[in-house]
Amino acid sequence: MAERKTYHHGALRQALIDGAKEILAESGHEQFSLNEVARRAGVSTAAPYRHFTNRDDLLSAVAEEGYQTLAVDLEKATGLVGLGGAYVRFAHEHPGLFVTMFRSRPGGEASAAGEAAFGTLLRAVLAAQESGAIPAYASPELTARSIWATLHGLAVLHLQRPHERYGLGGEPEELATTTLSALLGVKPE
């Protein structure tokens, strides 16, 4: 009797995540298809279910990697204003991933990775408050969440294109740094 040969991908979980990120980059969150991810990975449409319970589970893993990448980008930024520019630049450079990060289901690894990325912003706020660069009358967490909400709003406006209608044209990173500088009363780095 001949020995049966079975296909074994080896790193299927990561291949599926990478394929999902490619699809998101090409066609966005709304057009995402688990069948297309499987096709690109060269596996059956049932194979992804060995690693992910459903489409949302895979997208949550993608969101986790997105938050990890965002955290690295934020850590590289200089100062609070520079960090704001890095946030909006990330959204501009990875629109499908950015949207997925904020549409993934709450909880799990993606939430932990998101909190870690937020921690970078919180540390920058603390440093700016301690140095006197920004006022310390509000809690650092409230200040960081307010800055995040502002940056997120700018990023979403750029992704959805109404920013042009409201006179917010130009490069998204420059808009973010200018906005943060004006709101915080600090010079851009």
**pLDDT greater than 50 at residue 171:** yes
Would you list the domain boundaries of the chain? 12-50, 60-184
Contact 60, 108 (CB under 8 A): yes
Max CA pair span of the chain: 79
pLDDT reported for residue 61: 92
- What is the CATH code for 12-50? 1.10.10.60
More confident residue, 84 or 188: 84
Coil, strand or helix at 175: helix
- In this prediction, residue 124 carries a pLDDT of 94
Amino acid identity, position 167: G
For position 149, what pLDDT does the model report? 94
Mind listing the pLDDT tens digit for each residue in 67-89?
A: 999 999 999 998 899 999 999 99
Q: For 154-176, what is the mean pLDDT?
A: 75
Burial class (CB in 10 A: 0-12, 13-18, 19+), 46: exposed
Name which CATH class applies to 60-184. mainly alpha
pLDDT per residue as tens digits for the range 105-154? 666 677 888 899 999 999 999 999 999 989 888 899 999 999 999 999 98
Where do the DSSP E strands lie in the chain? none
DSSP-H helix ranges across the chain: 12-27, 34-41, 55-76, 79-93, 95-103, 108-131, 140-160, 172-184
Task: Name the residue with higher pLDDT: 101 or 103.
Answer: 101
Residue partners of 70: CB distance under 8 A and separation at least 6 = 87, 90, 101, 117
pLDDT (0 to 100) of residue 178:
85
Instruction: Find out whether 68 and 113 touch, Cβ atoms under 8 Å.
Output: yes
